[in-house]
Amino acid sequence: MTQLFTNNAESVLAAGITAAATSITVKGGEGALFPNPLKGDYFLITLFQRLGAIEMNWEIVKCTARAGDVLTVERQVEGSTPRAFNAGDPVSLRLTAGAVLPVHQGALTGPLNEAAPVPVVATSSMAIASAGANTLLVSGIASIAAFDAAPPGARRRMVFTDAATLVHNAVSMVLTTGADIVTARGDCAEWLSAGGGNWSMLDYSRASGSPVGVVATAQAVAGQTATGTALITAADAAAARAALGVSVSNYGAGDLLTSVRKMAAPDWLPCDGKPYLKSSYPALSAAIGPATAGIVRLATPVSPPAATSAGCAFSPDGQYVAIAQSTSPYMLMFKRSGDTFSRLGLSQPPTGFTYKIAFSADGTLMAVAQAASPFLSMYRRDGDVFTLANLLTANPSATSKAVAFSPDGNFIACGDDVNGLWLRLYRKASTGYFGSIGISLPGGTVHSVAFSPDGMYLVVACQSTYPMMLYKRAPNGESYVLLPEANLPGQMGTYGTAFSPDGNILAVSMITGGFLALYARDGDKFTRLPDPVVMPTGQSSHLAWSPDGGTLAVGHTNTPFLTMYSREGTTLTKWPSYPLPGGWVSHVSYTKDGAYFVLSMNEAPYMAVYSVLYDAATQFVVPTLASPGAGFKNYIKT
């Protein structure tokens, strides 16, 4: 909860109020002078009366929400007595004693409560100064190389939930280790701003209690020709140390070890992600074996869907997967335990054909787009229980076929199959979600909505003259504005959209043309990239990136129904082989750690769950493609 201020915010009551009133209206058009509280924020205003030039009958009230000129308030604030006021009585935002009393005569005499932690997604350049809280819950596995500018002396605290990489920079992002750090779940970092976008790490602590940033150099061996590094991320750090020939035992996950390669007969396995020739690294080649598909299809859960499924979604923690269904009960919920998925009871299923499902970034809310009223259902999750919640002040007017949360959870975008409307955008308020806010609308049925990883862009796939509409978050953060110059070229019938986790590539699935289009983003400009050498074989319905951005899964209507691509920069290469789903794939959803993904299908068993394979000996992702020069490429398991 943050107290908000604006300068010179003063108006008068448009109508009188009683001593019990909890809503006041100020003079028309002057509500905009006051702040707009979100997510529990508030501001204090003083109501009073005037007798000539003399002020009297003051009352301090707490405003928790504002809709235009209407303010929602709480009375009996800071000991002031509620009273009736008349139309024309002044309303003024002032600094009150309660805002400064916790610090009295140089001593802190009351609790200093920070804003609630804010969930954010790791990106190459993160906006932490404007995040709205001192403590940030950082998810995702991207490499973090920069922060936005904050005044000198500003501090931020990060708590990590995934294996992101903090990139050391001697000027703009100074790490205590002087080298990159790979985070782990529960790790914490403290930062101090020097201004101008330059930050220094004050402290880093690991949840495991192991030391941070230990660097050791192994003894040189005869015949050395190159040096290399290995990053310990496996649970059995001893095996990683042994592979490097380092005998000291006090190295843990996240530490960076360096050693010397012996090219002819290596005594350790390199793991920095670069291509290696099999002839130079026979030990690694023997451990990993021939290039094979990196996924395996798991057993179909007991009691799978009984009819066509148009959508699916994993919860952010990977413990739950929701499957849409075209017949009652219209949505199924499964809980994961290892590689086993068990169906849960859902006491309040949707009321009609379910198209798409989306979870909020923190996993506490679930939105369901459907064909029957209320067309968009909202659920709260508490453990294994999903309960309908009335969080929308205005529901869509007709069938909704697409839905997505913004990464920060402040917006929901959904389709509304009404001529002249087509799209609804909801903005979060302290009590739920507002109805549609003012945005330029597309010109046809919306099939897909997707936010960029940083929440700055919203792309809408629709069946209209302009099949791709691109929006950018407004400078005040309260809406999205159309970028007409960025309307992406394409053909009628775009059905799926997905930003790569680094936000640099937008992938689009289509039911005409080549069925897949890729765009490189440079600021607000999106440029069409060359098509992959091998394109999907039929109408593409949906697609999804793996969380590390290394794989793109595309579902389509023709055999093989699923096309898997590996990504190198802006180039996609089709996997040579992998287990096939056996039916039309309508939707794809990955877990946040990339260990699993689920497909919804139009043919029995109407869902398929896959696990991403890791080699037991090396803890590398099993490679999907041979590298040039009869080599191979390995990856560290995160």
Report pLDDT for 111: 67
144 token code pair: 């973090």
186 and 326 in a single domain? The answer is no
379 and 479 in a single domain? The answer is yes
d(CA 121, CA 124): 10
Report pLDDT for 628: 36
Report pLDDT for 363: 92
89 and 152 in a single domain? The answer is no
Listed residues 102, 132, 147: the one ending a domain = 102
Q: Which of 383, 411, 264, 242 is nearest to 315 (CA)?
A: 383
What is the arithmetic mean of pLDDT over 516-532? 89
Domain assignment of residue 93, given as a range? 10-102
- Sign (positive/negative) of CA torsion 179, 184, 189, 195? positive
Burial of residue 527 (number of CB atoms within 10 Å: 0-12, 13-18, 19+): exposed
Our CA dihedral for 140, 142, 146, 152, rounded to 10 degrees, sits at 20
CB atoms within 10 A of CB 190: 15
Question: Any idea what the CATH number is for the domain that residue 418 is in?
Answer: 2.130.10.10
414 in any annotated domain: yes
Please, are residues 566 and 549 in contact by the beta-carbon 8 Å criterion? no
Tens digit of each residue's pLDDT (9 = 90 or more) over 24-55: 999 999 999 999 998 778 999 999 998 877 88
Residue type (1 letter), 34? F
Quote the number of domains for the chain. 3
Question: Any idea what the CATH number is for the domain that residue 188 is in?
Answer: 2.60.120
**What is the value of pTM for the model shown?**
0.57
415 and 529 in a single domain? The answer is yes
144 in any annotated domain: yes
380 and 304 in a single domain? The answer is yes
Residue 459 has pLDDT above 60, yes or no: yes
CB burial of 41-78 (b: ≥16 within 10 Å; e: otherwise) equals bbbbbbbbbeeeeeeeeebbbbbbbbeebebbbebebe
Q: How many CA atoms are closer than 13 Å to the CA of 205, on its beta-carbon side?
A: 9
96 and 135 in a single domain? The answer is no
Look over the chain and give the mean of its residue pLDDT values, rounded to a whole number. 80
62 in any annotated domain: yes
Tens digit of each residue's pLDDT (9 = 90 or more) over 147-198: 999 888 889 999 998 888 899 998 999 998 888 888 888 899 999 999 889 9
254 in any annotated domain: no
Residue 541 has pLDDT above 80, yes or no: yes
Sheet strand arrangement including 90-93 = 10-12, 90-93, 43-51, 54-67, 70-74, 23-25
Query: 552 to each of 498, 506, 563, how far by Cα in Å?
Result: 9, 11, 8
393 and 308 in a single domain? The answer is yes
CB atoms within 10 A of CB 408: 22
CB atoms within 10 A of CB 439: 19
Listed residues 189, 205, 221: the one ending a domain = 205
Q: Which segment of 90-94, 415-419, 496-500, 530-534 scores lowest on mean pLDDT?
A: 415-419
170 token code pair: 């001697």
405 in any annotated domain: yes
CB-based contacts of 228, cutoff 8 Å, min separation 6: 258, 259, 260, 261, 270, 272
